Structure 1
Amino acid sequence: MIITETRVRDAYRITPEPIPDHRGSLYESLRYETLRRATGHAIEIRQVNHTVNRRNTLRGIHGTTVPPGQGKIVTCVRGAARTMVVDLRVGSPTFGGHDVVGQDAESGVAVYLPDGLGLGYVALADDTCMNYLYTREYTPGMIIDIDALDPGLGLPWNLTEPPVRSERDAAAPSLAEAAAAGTLPGYEQCLRAYPAM
């Protein structure tokens, strides 16, 4: 697998290298030691979730409070998605910055986000299924919601029609509003929370 840092500091794109044969192909989607060396984080998986989405569903931007935090590795296992990684860490050199990652079942491209980074995506096909591997179990009240359509973020969703959103996502504050309310984690706080090697 090829692991490269995105334009958002500490977020990584994981691109598998398929080995094809007459049956199809095989690829490693995750190898602990390879990811640890590339990211500097000792990642242990504590929870696995899936979402199934109709085309044009927009989820996010979602992050977590620190503590407890909840790092994640997200892969598209069916369909396709346009994924945004957003830095929610106040004081980070890339605070408010984003990167776009194309994800689909065929490529197997995954995204690793440690504590303090937000994720959102729009489903590009009906029945798009996203797989989440989490470093911590969900705790009520830990989720931070940011409006995915916040003009201040200017995320390039490339929407051609109004997206399908949850009421919670549609009512989420802008990044500036969340920062002013003190709900976002601090950069140094997140660095201390990252899993040690």
Structure 2
Amino acid sequence: MRIEATSLRDVIKITPRHFNDSRGYFCELYREEWFRKEVADVRFVQDNQSLSWRDGTLRGLHFQRAPAAQGKLVRVIAGAIFDVALDARPSSETFGQWTAVELSEDNHAQLWIPEGFAHGFLSLSPRTVVQYKVTAPYNPAAETGVIWNDPDLAINWPLTGREIHISSKDAYLPRLRDLVTPVLPMKETA
């Protein structure tokens, strides 16, 4: 597997090797020992999958507060997405910064998004299927997020020519500056 840095040190793009022949291809997507040594020493406890019927479906930016914070390993099974990770860790030197990667069924790339980051994506094609592993189970009491078009973040979503489809819940998320409880607790200072 090939590891590539993103503009945020802790968010990592992973591209598995593919072995092609006349039948199609084979690839290894995940091996715990390798992942824990090369990427992050975590354990995944739940797999999730979403289907976006239409191009322009926007999901996020979502996260869970501590102690239920989730790390995510995201990949696309069908279609393509513009995948965004936002550093929501108040004590981080990159707090409020974001990075984005295109994930698709063609490039086979995956994105590791650690705890403390908000995550969202825009479907770039109809019938997009996204699958992701998480390090903590879904906990509705810990669920929150940041509005996708927060002007302070200025995320450069590829919206040209797209009608946006968003849930009512996501349409009313707060701006990052208005979050009452951060993703992870602030580090105590002496």
Same fold by TM-score greater than 0.5: yes
CA gap of 1:184–1:137, structure 2 versus 1, over 3 A, is closer
Distance across 1 between alignment mates of 2:3 and 2:34: 8
What is the TM-score normalised by the length of structure 1?
0.88
Identical pairs, percent? 31
For each residue in 1:15-38, what CA deviation from the matched residue of structure 2 results, as whole angstroms up to 9, or x when unmatched? 112111121111121122222122
Contact 2:15/2:110 (8 A) holds in 1: yes
> Counterparts of 1:69-108 in structure 2 under 5 Å?
69-108=69-108
Code of the aligned partner of 1:173: P
Q: Secondary structure at the match of 1:133?
A: strand
In structure 2, what is the equivalent of residue 176 of structure 1? 177
Q: Secondary structure at the match of 2:156?
A: coil
Asked whether the 8 Å contact 1:16–1:107 carries over to 2, the reply is no
Rounded to whole Å, the distance in 2 between the matches of 1:95 and 1:162 is 30
Matches within 5 A, 1:24-173: 24-39=24-39, 41-53=40-52, 54-160=54-160, 161-173=162-174
AA matched with 1:176: R
Deviation at 1:77, TM superposition (A): 0.5
Q: CA deviation at 1:183?
A: 3.5
- TM-score computed with the length of structure 2 as normaliser: 0.91
Describe the SS at the equivalent of 1:75: strand
Structure 1, unaligned runs of 5 or more: 190-197
In the aligned structure 2, how far is the partner of 1:151 from the partner of 1:108?
A: 31
- SS of aligned partner of 2:30: coil
- Give unpaired runs (5+ residues) of structure 2: none
Q: Distance in 1 between matches of 2:186 and 2:98?
A: 15
| Residue number in structure 2 paired with 1:8 | 8
> Contact 2:63–2:144 at 8 Å: present in 1 too?
yes
Partner of 1:194: none
- Partners of 1:116 and 1:187 within 8 A in 2: no
Find runs of 4+ consecutive structure 1 residues off by over 3 angstroms.
Answer: 186-189
Paired with 2:171 and 2:142, the residues of 1 have a C-alpha distance of 18
**How many angstroms apart in 1 are the aligned matches of 2:51 and 2:85?**
20
Cα 1:187–1:3 change in 2 (3 A) is farther
| SS at 2:90 equivalent | coil
Across the aligned residues of Structure 1 and Structure 2, the Cα RMSD in angstroms comes to 1.6
Structure with the larger helix share: 1
1:144 Cα offset (Å): 2.0
